[in-house]
Amino acid sequence: MTNNILKMPSLFIAHGSPMLAIQTTPYTKFLNTLGDSLKPKAIVIFSAHHETEVTTVSVHDNTYDTIYDFYGFPKEMYQIKYPAKGSSSVANSVLDKLQKSGLKAQKETKRGLDHGSWTLLMKMFPNADVPVVQVSVNPNGDARQHYEIGKSLRGLKDEGILIIGSGVTVHNLGAIKWGQDKPEPWAVKFDDFLIENVKSNQLDNLFNWSKLAPNARLAVPTAEHFFPFFVALGASSSDDISSSKVINRHYEVGTLSYLSFNFN
């Protein structure tokens, strides 16, 4: 690592509702401030909305299309462009590290940025001047598998590359309480389990979240939004995760969690 390259953290960031793209809220201000505090050479982002069985890495230097993978939102949502460019050199480094760790990985060259990526990035890096490499998650995988994916990429942070897992911890759209600001106790208890086991460095408890966490299946009916948490966790500087920090915690519509972590 050269002196003019800043080591980057790995972050798990809740992307919540797509509406954050056009809103100004305490959370979007948090994202603004977070982005301002970071000067990455490039960003590798694992999006819950890019689902493949085999880890798939976007490899190109072109400007991404903006994907509107949602419906029923205001017209202006479909007019947003986030013209970030890719980085084939960083993407190929991601592929190389995954494969050298014995993990299956493949490349693609044409997919745009889905809203799991661009809604966050446009708030953190509004000038779209940082190259982005988007990577998929496996909805049929497990926590340990995604942790190992993140772990294989640890060296990228020393090169000034920011690793982001973009998802949501408590994500049950069928349990949303419209107009309710106060979080449901069961949602809070699930997140409490995560925080307590991160702080106490209990990786095995986290890997076995589906059996040990309170209200696990209510909080996580399908795991694609939760797996980016484990990618970011794995990309932490070591297997001792006790120094990780909660950087945001609040809830919308009763159950939608905006819990976010810096895993160093």
240 within domain boundaries:
yes
Whole-number Å distance between alpha carbons of 58 and 78 = 23
223 within domain boundaries:
yes
5 within domain boundaries:
no
249 within domain boundaries:
yes
Whole-number Å distance between alpha carbons of 61 and 41 = 14
Q: Label residues 57-66 b or e (16+ Cβ within 10 Å = b).
A: bbbbeeebeb
Name the β-bridge partners of 251: 257
CA dihedral 223, 225, 230, 233 (to 10 degrees): -160
75 within domain boundaries:
yes
160 within domain boundaries:
yes
- CATH number, domain containing residue 153: 3.40.830.10
pLDDT digits (tens, 9 = 90+) for 117-161: 999 999 999 999 999 999 999 999 999 999 999 999 999 999 999
1 within domain boundaries:
no
Q: Other CB atoms closer than 10 Å to residue 55's CB: what's the count? A: 25
Note the pLDDT of residue 214. 98
pLDDT (tens, 9 = 90+) of the chain, 264 residues, equals 445 778 999 999 999 889 999 999 999 999 999 999 999 999 999 999 999 999 999 999 999 999 999 989 999 999 999 999 999 999 999 999 999 999 999 999 999 999 999 999 999 999 999 999 999 999 999 999 999 999 999 999 999 999 999 999 999 988 889 989 899 999 999 999 999 999 999 999 999 999 999 999 999 999 999 999 999 999 999 999 999 999 999 999 999 999 999 999
Whole-number Å distance between alpha carbons of 61 and 131 = 8
- Assigned token pair, 15: 């992307």
Give the count of domains, the chain.
1
Domain that holds residue 72: 10-262
**What is the tally of helices (H) and strands (E) in the chain?**
9, 10
Those residues whose C-beta lies under 8 Å from the C-beta of residue 110, and which sit 6 or more positions away, are 60
3-state secondary structure of 67: coil
4 within domain boundaries:
no
